[in-house]
Structure formats: C-alpha cells, structure tokens
Structure 1
Amino acid sequence: MLFSYLLKRFVKIGTLSFTDCKGKTQLCAATPTPQISFRLYSKRLERRFCSSPMLALGEGYMNGELTIEKGDIYDFLTFCAMNDEQYHFSPVETLLSHLASLRRLFHQHNPITKSRRNVAHHYDLSEGLYRLFLDEDMQYSCAYFTNLDENIETAQENKKRHLAAKLRLKPGQRVLDIGSGWGGLAITLAREAGVSVTGLTLSEEQHRVATERVKAAGLEDRVRFYLRDYRQEQGTYDRIISVGMFEHVGIKHYDEFFRQISTLLNEDGIALLHSIGCSAGPSRPNPWLNKYIFPGGYCPALSETFAAIEPAKLYVTDIEILHQHYAETLRHWRMKFLANQKKVKELWGDRFFRMWEFYLASCEVAFRNRGYMVFQIQMVRNSELAPLTRDYIGEEEDRLRITGSKLKIA
C-alpha cells in the first residue's frame, strides 16, 4: 500500500505501469509520454523502495528481482530523474535526506589503508573487463568532444591534449600524475611533450598494466609508475596533474590534498585538477554506487573544492566546466558494453553484467538530468604566471596534435 501511494505521488510526468509480485498491475498516468513499465518479484523489495529507493532499485535490478517490461534500464532511470525534479518531499523524507547527508562525513574518512581497499574494489578488476568498453588507450575519465559526431577514440585523444595544453609543458620538465590509471596520459605527455612523468596509483592491476605499456613504448627512462599514496610522495615537480582521482580523496581530506599539491609544486609550477563535480551544491553520495562500485566516492561541489584550495596558498588561474562531455563519454561506454554483453556474461555472469549496466546507465542519467558535470581547475603558486588570455590552449592543442600525427607516421 505504501509503495503504491508513493508511486502515485512520484509520477508527475509520463505514464508508469507497475506489476507487483502477485501479478497485480497498477497504472500511474500523468501525461501520455514517456511510457515505462516494470515488474517486481519480491514483496521485500517493495518495502525497501520506501526507505532507500536508489539502493533498492540498483539491487533489485542486478539481482533480477526487478525487470523492465517496456523500455530499458536507461529509459527507466531517465523517467525517474525527470519526475524527481518535480517531486516535493514530505517533512519526514526531508529529515531522512538531511540525516543521510550527515552520514557522508563518516563514510568520507579515508586514511591510506582504507584508500587502498577502496581502490582495489573497483580498479583491481581484470584489465580485460575495461577493454570491453573503454577506448584503445584505456582512458577511464571524461573525454573531450569537439563535436558530437566524434568517436570515443578521437574524443579521448582530444582530452589528453586539452589537459596537456593547460599544463603549458616544456621539454625536460618533471610531471607528477596523481591517479595515473593504466598509464595512457603519462605516456602521451612524455611522447608528445618531451617531459618526464612520475605516476602514482594505489591499484596493483593498473600499476602492472601501466608498467608493461611503458616498457613496450620504450619510455622507461622518462615514465615511471609507483604504488604510492599521494600523501607519501616527496620532492618537487614542475607540473602536477590529477585526473579522475579527486572523487576518491574524501571530503575530510580536501585540505590535506591541496596542501600536498602546494608542497610538491615548484614555485613557478602549474597544477591541474580534473574531477567530476555537482553543480547543484554539496550533495549526498549515491548509496548504491558507494556500496557496489565506488566505496568512499564523492562528487564535490565547487564551493567545497575552493574552500580547500584557498588555505593551501594556491591561486586558481583557469576553470572550465564540461557539461555534455561525460554524458556522451558514458553513452559510448554503455553502448560498447552492451555490444559485448555475451562476452561479459560468459566471463562474469548475468548479475555482474546487470550491475555494470546499471552503473553506466545511472551515471549517464546523472550527467544528463541531475546536475553533474566535470570541472578542470588550473592552479599556481605564483599568480603572476597566469597568461593574459586563454588563446594558448587552442594553440598548444594544435601543436601537440601535429606532433602526435608525426609520431604515428614515424
């Protein structure tokens, strides 16, 4: 009864058809379109929807207790996002939401040992899994589309050069890559800009793959990867870059993160941070994503980020907000993942496939409908180093593109 009541309150746009575990169908119709139909196979899941809908939805779908009868899981999540914007919370629901926001501080406590466990949970999965949906260079972060007809390979090449351009690299400089992944960005910077790169990761699997790739590229003298937390790094660097790692730092450690950036950066150096963020202000973590995909993960608001940058005596010299780019990146990943559905199921099973399908679909919907974006923040210790205009970014991208093309021909 409560679940049916909440559904009726929730649907303000479209038509939703729901069949319960006893085979009874209920129609919630606000407007003719869009139309979505789903079925639940568990009374227990109905009750869980009332207390934690996102967790219940994700678990129900991955466990086969919820199936989409009309549309697919992406359509269903889009339908939910559209109606969520129209939904008016009751006082009790508002209180529960505030309590959940307070709990995030506990979950964001992220000492080094916990950071390693959190990273291993997601990034130490088989390299083979990621090769089934990422680009050839295994870039697991937001691509940069100059137009929406570009393929994911081109868009990821654009991303690496866009970041490199903002670093204003010079041959021979020392670069620190915090959260170096499978090594693609570090290898590109070394090859196209002539710099030396030190990459830090907490993932043993990524470290293994990145080290093998550097050896294959013949760049062992200029690129090295270490299994090391950023808090343990020493020395100084001309440039520091961190892509897709800040989401794992934890709110309580933001001050520590930027203080370390400031300590490791040379007086005339440049640091660049690329991170997912929430444009609607401080948010609460998605409970399903935190439980199954990114333990300890959090997408910060700019207000939370800047509050930690300023005390670290770093000056922000450029900031760019990317709105559509990650939604398109996730669409490409999701389509490729679905195309490899048979292979994923053979290797990891149906439940794993549905879990990752839900992950990719829910993230794409979040970027299209829930105010999530990507920000790139350029920082320096000496504010006099800021260029007069942003023209240098496009000019440097063009130069790096020509260099990259010549290297491919050679």
Structure 2
Amino acid sequence: MLQSLLARLITRGRLTVATPFGTASAGTPGDEHPAARLDVALRIRDARTAMKIATNPDLYFGEAYMDGTLVVERGSFADMMELLGYNIHLLGENPNPRLGRILSSAVGLVSGRNGLKKARENVAHHYDLSGELYRTFLDGDMQYSCAYLRHPDDDIEAAQLAKKQHIAAKLLLEPGQRVLDIGCGWGGLALFIAKVADVRVTGITLSKEQLAVARRRAKEEGLDDRVDFQLVDYRVLDGEFDRVVSIGMFEHVGLPNYAAYFGAIRRLLAPKGVALVHSIGKMYGPAPTSTWILKYIFPGGYAPALSEVMPAVERNALWVNDVEILRLHYAETLRLWRERFDARWPELSRSYDERFKRMWDFYLVGSEISFRYFGFMVFQMQLAKSVDAAPMTRDYLHEAESALRQVGGASAAVAAE
C-alpha cells in the first residue's frame, strides 16, 4: 500500500520511507524545479505511529515529527515538506468545492465559536508565550503578520517596513484623525501610524503579554499621549473612529462571528470612515483548518475563502473599495522567520526543549508550504460606509506610499526591545 501511494504521489524528486513493515521509495531526482532535485529519506520508528499516520495524517504526521517517532534521515525536514508539497501540487487535486463547503461549515462552526471568554483563552495559548521567543525570529518592530516584499532579496526588516507603509497608504491618513487598531499585537503598527501621520490611535488586544509590551513601547517612544492600548474585545468597544485597521486578527474571529465582526467595524466607523482588513485566506474555496494547527498552534483559528467573507460584508452594508491578493509574500515571510528561528535556536534552547522546536519547525515550514503550493494567500480589503469615502482611482495609494518611503525607514520604524 505504501509503495503504491508513493508511486502515485512522488513523480518529481525522490522519497524513501522506512517503516517497521518495510521500506518503499518512489521518484527520480530531476532538475526542472529545485524541489525536483531533492532526495529525501524518512523513517517511521514504530508500527503504532505508522498506523496512526495512515488513519489521520492531518493530525498524526505532525505529532509524530514532534514526538521523534518520525525522523528525516536524509535531507532536512524543510526538504521533506518541500518535496511533498511540490508533488501534491503537481497532482492538481484541489479540494472538492461542495465537500469543502460542507466540511468548512461543520468544522468552522464548532471550532470557531469564539465567545468573549474563549477568544481570550485562544489568544493566550499562542500570543502569551515569552517575548524572548518572538524576538528571536520577528523583525525589530515585532510584526507577526505577512510582510510585503517589494524586492525578492528584501530582508525581514525592509519587508515589514514596506508592509506598514503599504497599509498606512491605504488608510488615507490625515493629521488629527482617530484610528482604531483591532488586534494591535505588540503595538508596532499603531506606533508607526501615530508617528508618520500625526493621528491618535487606540490599539486593542486580548493578550496581556502583548498589552504590557505595547504600553511600554508607547511610553519609551514618547507617544503615550497619542497612542492608547487597551485589553478589550472589539465586540464591546465603544467609540467612533475615522480609520479602522485590523492586521492578522480576522483569522481568529471564527466563522460564526463574521457578521458581528463587520457589524462592529460599521458601528465603530465614522460616516466618512475607511477600514482596512488584512487576513490569511484561501483561493480555492472553503476548507477546514488543519486539526494539528487547531490543537497545537491556533485553537479557534480559521482562514476563510473570500466567498465566506463577502456575504457578511454585504449584510453590513459596507463598500468594498479595494481588494488586493498577496500571493507568495507570506511564503517568503515564513521562510525568513524560519531561518532566523533556526539561527537563534541555541539561545532559545535554554528555555524550550527539542519537542517544542520540532513543533515550531512544523508550524513554520508547514505554513510556508501551504502558501507556496496549497492555495493559501493574504487578502487586504479596504472598506467604507460611504460611497465617496475614498478617491475614485488608486493613484492616491502609490503617491502616499512613495511619500512614506521618503520619510525613511530609520525614523519611521519603532524598535522593540
């Protein structure tokens, strides 16, 4: 059975799998693609692990790697994932759209019931890990979302600065405006916006660790009179804002809460207000979140298809002024994070064990492969309540972005220590 599966799956590159039941291999290394040149061997150490992977690979493949019962004996773990991702992509078998909708609805409605208490617990699971961990692989500004690579050889610092400039340009910022940052993380974007546009920003988060860092940074930068960070859920926040921005937070809202989320944006926006939502999505239609990701990394997380998002936007009578799809930007962001994480592991190993490292490797590499081969992308959606809240053409975006680049990265970036 294993030999038959590998023969069908691996047509480029070579994969050898050793199990207690025997060894199987398939494929021949070629040179038409970097992944096709890979020659990888892995071993499944015991029969129980092999049977578990066979019955539920979505969960147990990752668990086996974490536990050390699945080991890569030739090549690296990243090589193995690249080889598998590339060959699965070549099969061209996207999820069945109808089945995807059914599974997405069933799993999304169960895992996405992120009420006020559950949402706080889910955030704490991932974002209240030590700041030391995130500082090792993120940029100096602690941006934990898709970067924007204007050039293929951009490093993470340049790419995250470009992301903030791109977002600030889309927000059409003017001095004196009131800006709300939903899911403000460690405060980097809020502080950047306050600096480059002379606006007042309210940043909200459900992470106590992130809140403490963000408040400290605002005080150190002398911006605590214009940037206010709060521990509050967007659903209970009051006020009116000229601009609303939400970066990398919508993935944690949960499918049942989309109407409430966009309803809150409409409620909080001033009549001529503009909002910008930046989120991971899927290009091939609704599909459930990986059970391994839900268990170990992002409980309650869900990356939607645009077909699931638009109905909630429409029901809340919001104009969709602009949608931009960032395709390979997150794959490259994850690659840069992974390289930094690996380089700094000797420092982290004083606080975390090897199982944690393998879990984080699986998360970073698996996510990168999803963006390279499995239809994951990032969308940026500009929204408004009024038909004339934004210019009729996109010329303003390029002009504003160019002006922000002239400010200079050194004066615009806010470093996190």
| Common topology (TM > 0.5) | yes
**2:388 counterpart SS class:** helix
**1:101 shift after superposition:** 6.1
Tell me whether 1:15 sits opposite 2:29 in the alignment: no
The change in CA–CA distance for 1:140 and 1:405 in structure 2 (over 3 A counts) is: closer
**1:375 counterpart SS class:** strand
**1:384 counterpart SS class:** coil
| Percent of aligned pairs with the same amino acid | 47
Q: C-alpha offsets along residues 240-282 of structure 1, whole Å, 9 cap, x if unaligned?
A: 0000000000011101100110010000000000001101111
**1:267 counterpart SS class:** strand
Tell me whether 1:53 sits opposite 2:57 in the alignment: yes
TM-score (norm 2): 0.92
For residue 191 of structure 1, the aligned residue among 184, 190, 195 is 195
**Alignment correspondent of 1:125:** 129
For residue 28 of structure 1, the aligned residue among 17, 26, 29 is 26
Tell me whether 1:306 sits opposite 2:310 in the alignment: yes
**1:295 shift after superposition:** 0.5
Tell me whether 1:75 sits opposite 2:79 in the alignment: yes
CA–CA distance in structure 2, aligned partners of residues 168 and 81 of structure 1:
39
Tell me whether 1:295 sits opposite 2:299 in the alignment: yes
Tell me whether 1:247 sits opposite 2:251 in the alignment: yes
Tell me whether 1:346 sits opposite 2:350 in the alignment: yes
CA–CA distance in structure 2, aligned partners of residues 284 and 403 of structure 1:
42
Contact 1:162-1:397 within 8 A present in 2 as well: yes
Contact 2:100-2:286 within 8 A present in 1 as well: no
**1:139 counterpart SS class:** coil
**1:385 counterpart SS class:** coil
CA RMSD of aligned residues (A): 2.1
**Alignment correspondent of 1:168:** 172
Tell me whether 1:333 sits opposite 2:337 in the alignment: yes
Q: C-alpha offsets along residues 143-198 of structure 1, whole Å, 9 cap, x if unaligned?
A: 11111111110111111011000000011100000000000000000011000000
Matched positions, count: 403
Contact 2:284-2:305 within 8 A present in 1 as well: yes
Choose 187-196 or 10-19, whichever is displaced more: 10-19
CA–CA distance in structure 2, aligned partners of residues 103 and 168 of structure 1:
38
**1:99 shift after superposition:** 5.2
Q: C-alpha offsets along residues 284-314 of structure 1, whole Å, 9 cap, x if unaligned?
A: 1011111100001111111111111011010
**1:132 counterpart SS class:** helix
Tell me whether 1:223 sits opposite 2:227 in the alignment: yes
Contact 1:247-1:297 within 8 A present in 2 as well: yes
For residue 85 of structure 1, the aligned residue among 85, 89, 92 is 89
Contact 1:192-1:404 within 8 A present in 2 as well: no
CA–CA distance in structure 2, aligned partners of residues 159 and 387 of structure 1:
21
Choose 26-35 or 76-85, whichever is displaced more: 26-35
For structure 1, list consecutive stretches of 5 or more residues without a partner in the other structure.
none
For residue 115 of structure 1, the aligned residue among 116, 119, 122 is 119
TM-score (norm 1): 0.93
Tell me whether 1:374 sits opposite 2:378 in the alignment: yes
Q: C-alpha offsets along residues 294-338 of structure 1, whole Å, 9 cap, x if unaligned?
A: 001111111111111011010011111111211111111000011
